[in-house]
Structure formats: structure tokens, C-alpha cells
Amino acid sequence: MQDVRDAFRALKASPVVTAVAVLSLALGIGANTAIFSILDSLVLRTLPVKAPQQLAVVGLNGEPGSFTNPLWEQMRRHGELVDGIAAWSTSRFNLAASGPSDLVDGLMTSGSFFDVLGTSPLLGPPSPWMMTVVAAGRQGRWRSSATTSGSGDSPVRRTLSAAR
């Protein structure tokens, strides 16, 4: 107990050294927390899907996802060696029905995409071809999942145009 009193007296006697020590500790703890949070989300935490250890990305010539549609159709027809197969393609989509464009980044996915991952879309039921928006619109509104057919104010079952 005497050692603790002596430590506080020493800290009180030199406030500049105390301030530098406290600031150094605060910055070190903050930096370590930030680095661990990034590492946890990118490396340590598993994907939120049914069986993440069984997922594989397939590509040609070392480039993941570099398939043509005819090759994809052939793989889908002859996929006996795997439990499931799904395809996706990145694109930009215009969420605005009319007027100024509201472009967001998204994925065009095959109908089996959610079944293979063991998940479901946040909005609406899965359809044979589904567009899943993964970015926020210009107004900061998060969009989740929308089919590429139908109409209405909701992004579900609404026709969306791909920005080329």
C-alpha cells in the first residue's frame, strides 16, 4: 500500500511527465483496440454463412470469378461434385425510378446464391436472378436486396437499371 502512495506522490510532483504517460497509454490502448477490431472483422471472425469452411471461389488462370455465361451454365448443369454452386457479378445500379440517378454498387447473383450460402435476403424472397445492393445510396439510405423485376416504391420487386 505504501508503494501505491509513493507512486501517486511522484506523479503529483511532476504533472508534465504524468500527462505524457497518461496520453501515451491512451493512444496505445486506442491504437491497439482499432487494430484488433479491424483484424477481428477481416481475419478472425468467420463469414456469417451456414458452412464457411466449405466455401471456395473458383476462377480461370488464377483470377477468381472469371467465367463466361456459357461456361457458368455448363458448370451449373454438371455440378455433381459439389453441394451447391452460385455465381455473382459486380455492377453499379440506378435505384432512381426517374429523375437524377441514385447509383449504388451491387451484385447480380444467381438464384442459388442464398441457398448455397445458407442465408436469405434481407428484403423479399429469393428469385431466379436477384440483385443485391451492398452500398448506401446518395442520401445515406441503406438498400438491402431487390429483385430485378416488378415495380413499387420499395426496392423489392422493382426494375433496376445497371449503370454501364
27-36 pLDDT, tens per residue?
999 999 999 9
**Is residue 66 within 8 Å of residue 57, measured between CB atoms?**
no
- For 33-74, the pLDDT digits (tens) are 999 999 988 888 877 788 878 887 777 766 666 677 788 788
For residue 135, what pLDDT is reported?
A: 47
Q: What per-residue confidence (pLDDT) applies to 84?
A: 84
Kindly report the pTM of this predicted structure. 0.54
Where the chain has pLDDT below 50, the residues are: 135-152
- Mark 101-129 as b/e (b = at least 16 C-beta within 10 Å): eebbebbbbbebbbebbeeebebbebbee
Q: Residue with C-alpha cell 458452412?
A: 51
133 CB burial (10 A radius; 0-12, 13-18, 19+): buried
Distance of alpha carbon 163 from alpha carbon 103, whole angstroms: 8
Alpha-carbon separation of residue 52 from 116, 119, 129 (angstroms)? 11, 12, 23
pLDDT of residue 142: 41
